[in-house]
Structure 1
């Protein structure tokens, strides 16, 4: 018998038409929108341009406008002109138009008739239930023309705009207003092929070779390498249990010496505020407000990279997954949304935040589909960048995601899914933490239970290592790493995540993830890690 739904709530708030005023909160308005919305918006067909302004609630127009940060753009970004061919696509929506202009292949030569995918039934989200109770959704070649759907393969598999498909732009715009409701009027969303690509695009748009950007002292290594490949180094800011320390950020910027650094004062700051990779730290609301105030003081642009935002968990209570409250299911969507730490985007009154969202951690990394949200002026420049690089996410990905998220689930069921995966990752975190409590020798290793994300960060007391003083911290780190590998378990070295070339923290750290391994294997991996620590530090074997 199918299990009960994860969240039982009525999301059928009354919808609004194009002419009706509303004072309904944005997220309720969006949850109540009906199918006429889709059928009336996407008549443009192939290469239609979809901008966020067409899909926001009417209450958005009552907000103030953002500041103009285009003066921060590089010459490369400022020099990009709209593609004439992309601009010409606007005429395709005119009735009776025969196109002999753009090089859009005929869908008659696409070797597909339809694509079908099995998706979860009604709140049946476990792998077993998805397999047993999967519902098949099908995307046909000409569903739009036949009035069956708001999206089809003839459009998805052809060329599109740098903004992404209007169908997905609409969905992410609505989702952004539901979750973050940016406090200024002229915000917009642009589809990306994932957050790493989006960050690289931001680096090229704001930084020149020889510049610096600001990051946590330990930061996502792919972001750091994206900068190095462009000749842009990171300057690392000290961290504590909540991530970046505001006082050190202010100190570094206030004392920046352009002659000594041979570089202008950096103004781009890269953050993973929730479940930070690699440390697992999460910035609280006050910490985010303090960093935003410093961004205003020093006129910074904040890159808010948030792949783990919805993997926020209740506080871990020592004693095991069955005794703490992390598995409690919210009673409503509103309760779930209010449980989330406010995003930088939600507190950005000036348009200085560029938020990067992705489906990688909440749907699938292989979708290579995400979006960024910022002021429309900056979005326009980034859309121009898309036009001459990635163009847009894969049409297959966009079509499948739209079918799942919009036509099958809707916003309410997607929130149910997010509640489900948060609960699943909470259970995984708790199992790993229980194993740590059981096996890890606390005299040489400590850790802080993460409040979000996928990672557990171990601090190793290198001063208790037999070769301390004779070996460098990096040599001790490598010895421990090799000992863990000898135990047939793999963790990540902390030094792999240094923001600067060398790093200033002499500590030794290792990162584990509770995201992928089966639960029993995860426990065994922690036991092996503990054995490696005991061997390396000359501690007695555990009884």
Structure 2
């Protein structure tokens, strides 16, 4: 069932006495944004047109402090970058009457595409079935800009672009960032990325050198570790609890850091996933984030805030049979319900926030964005202009048509409320299955508040083969027993930030993001069987049976 529409509707007339919004107030309401956009010349939307996200902000930010400079933290590679000299010429393409024989831009005459058509949901009818029945077809033509039908078309989007991404989609992203986070310093900027992994790769190349350590949660996104490793950069894990990274542990490690003992200079980069952390599902509350930021200020740490799951914050878990908590009734209530971002607390410009459409729209779009200080974003763009050259123009056009022209900011927030409820439902399914099927004497968990992952702690000391078998051997046994029972859950050791450190815990990660509800339940039942077999526990398998095989021919205990 779709969520109730959460659009904030406010009547505005052309009569006298209308109260205009305070230009210093932010964030603005979703339905105010389009009416406050500045008038732009058509040249701003042309092929490879340069864009500065500062020109797309609605509120005044000059009263805020300027960001700290990071010259002392940039790598030699970043300090040596001069940008793409050929792209500098693009700023002249908007000059009226100019005949360009300069850039190597192919003519759109030779693009074998005339129309792009997409069937998408209308607000608030977001389900697959509703989209099939009542979805809206939106389309983009080849020359819509020239015909004044749209500010973005195939001839523009399918050509070369800038490292910032297109001005058209960058405007929407900047407005969204201002509305949701309202960074508390003056010279913040946005620029697009080819997803957060690419953004992390660039950030590490900008801020580290071979032999460095960076900080992260002791269990972290495995790809982040694998991105850093070929650069000669190691990740050192900070102790965690159910809310994620422990600021006191971070402070203690940095305060006691001895370069001669560690063989490396003191770390000055923190990579963290504050919301729905992968793999643990932990979410830092507001005070935890403030405490982490304070430690970062004390030790002059630069924070890479990776937030693909930020909008997968869910309704509170109420338990089996308890009434559901009503969904947010307005955009304002929805935004207030979100844990404030580190970006929203960043008075120094020491946070690079990495956002992505991957978890809320489509991973295949390969579009995300970073928000950071003007200095950092400028260096990032210089890198992008000679590497990724920005995200796919085809993806940008698709997202622009959906987000800017069709849904608008209001519709997108309604979509986010919709997926909040969908993920809440999925989270509740896996939690109820765990309550029903998992042997609580050997496995425990905390209900996740956000994200896609359920983190299961294994009480390995109660295993009959411990300590004769080591933790890695027992983890391997449980994993393979689960495979034999027909359920794949991920081994916690695959997410160690530092595989050389001592680890005296055992976890498994399950995800509730993709499988249908009945398959989630069945997989948890099978994992429960595997645990009982491995630990030598007696008991029924949840179906009142003690042995045999299930409907897929997988062994039961």
TM-score normalised by the chain length of structure 1? 0.96
Describe the shift of the 1:58–1:199 C-alpha distance in structure 2 as closer, same or farther (beyond 3 A): same
Is residue 2:98 matched to residue 1:78? no
CA separation in 1, counterparts of 2:13 and 2:189? 25
CA separation in 2, counterparts of 1:110 and 1:355? 35
Report how far residue 455 of structure 1 moved: 0.4
SS at match of 2:198: helix
CA separation in 2, counterparts of 1:526 and 1:263? 43
CA separation in 1, counterparts of 2:148 and 2:278? 45
CA displacement 1:363-384 (0-9 Å, x = unmatched): 0000000000000100000001
CA displacement 1:474-503 (0-9 Å, x = unmatched): 110110000111111111100000000234
Aligned partner of 2:447 in structure 1 is 449
Aligned partner of 1:279 in structure 2 is 280
**8 Å Cα contact 1:42-1:167 kept in structure 2:** no
CA separation in 2, counterparts of 1:148 and 1:5? 32
Aligned partner of 1:69 in structure 2 is 70
Describe the shift of the 1:11–1:55 C-alpha distance in structure 2 as closer, same or farther (beyond 3 A): farther
Structure 1 segments unaligned to the other structure (5+ residues)? none
**8 Å Cα contact 1:26-1:177 kept in structure 2:** yes
Report how far residue 290 of structure 1 moved: 0.4
SS at match of 2:61: helix
Describe the shift of the 1:21–1:71 C-alpha distance in structure 2 as closer, same or farther (beyond 3 A): farther
CA separation in 1, counterparts of 2:385 and 2:270? 25
Aligned partner of 2:222 in structure 1 is 221
Describe the shift of the 1:79–1:14 C-alpha distance in structure 2 as closer, same or farther (beyond 3 A): farther
Report how far residue 24 of structure 1 moved: 6.6
Describe the shift of the 1:212–1:36 C-alpha distance in structure 2 as closer, same or farther (beyond 3 A): closer
Aligned partner of 1:295 in structure 2 is 296
CA displacement 1:299-323 (0-9 Å, x = unmatched): 0000000001011123212224x62
Report how far residue 63 of structure 1 moved: 1.6
Is residue 2:369 matched to residue 1:371? yes
**8 Å Cα contact 2:8-2:29 kept in structure 1:** no
The more displaced of 171-180 and 26-35 is: 26-35
CA displacement 1:145-166 (0-9 Å, x = unmatched): 1000111111111111111111
Aligned partner of 2:307 in structure 1 is 306
Report how far residue 33 of structure 1 moved: 3.6
Aligned partner of 2:119 in structure 1 is 118
Question: Match for 2:331 among 330, 333, 344?
Answer: 333
CA displacement 1:16-72 (0-9 Å, x = unmatched): xxxx98437334366324479487255231110111110112322222211112321
CA separation in 1, counterparts of 2:425 and 2:313? 12
Aligned partner of 2:40 in structure 1 is 40
Describe the shift of the 1:12–1:242 C-alpha distance in structure 2 as closer, same or farther (beyond 3 A): farther
Describe the shift of the 1:11–1:466 C-alpha distance in structure 2 as closer, same or farther (beyond 3 A): farther
Aligned partner of 1:324 in structure 2 is 324
Between the two proteins, the alignment pairs up a number of residues equal to 535
Is residue 2:508 matched to residue 1:486? no
CA separation in 1, counterparts of 2:33 and 2:207? 38
Map 1:100-115; keep pairs closer than 5 Å.
100-115=101-116
Structure 2 segments unaligned to the other structure (5+ residues)? 15-19, 545-557
SS at match of 2:117: strand
CA separation in 2, counterparts of 1:158 and 1:14? 41
CA separation in 2, counterparts of 1:14 and 1:497? 56
CA displacement 1:394-423 (0-9 Å, x = unmatched): 001000001100110111110000000001
Describe the shift of the 1:84–1:118 C-alpha distance in structure 2 as closer, same or farther (beyond 3 A): same
CA displacement 1:218-259 (0-9 Å, x = unmatched): 000000110012110001000001100111100110111101
- Runs of 4+ aligned residues of structure 1 deviating over 6 Å after TM superposition are 12-15
CA separation in 2, counterparts of 1:158 and 1:35? 30
SS at match of 1:378: helix
SS at match of 1:457: strand
**8 Å Cα contact 1:5-1:124 kept in structure 2:** no
CA separation in 1, counterparts of 2:504 and 2:363? 34
CA separation in 1, counterparts of 2:132 and 2:464? 52
Report how far residue 4 of structure 1 moved: 7.3
**8 Å Cα contact 1:7-1:329 kept in structure 2:** no
**8 Å Cα contact 2:315-2:327 kept in structure 1:** no
Aligned partner of 2:195 in structure 1 is 194
CA separation in 1, counterparts of 2:195 and 2:119? 23
**8 Å Cα contact 2:308-2:356 kept in structure 1:** yes
Aligned partner of 2:554 in structure 1 is none
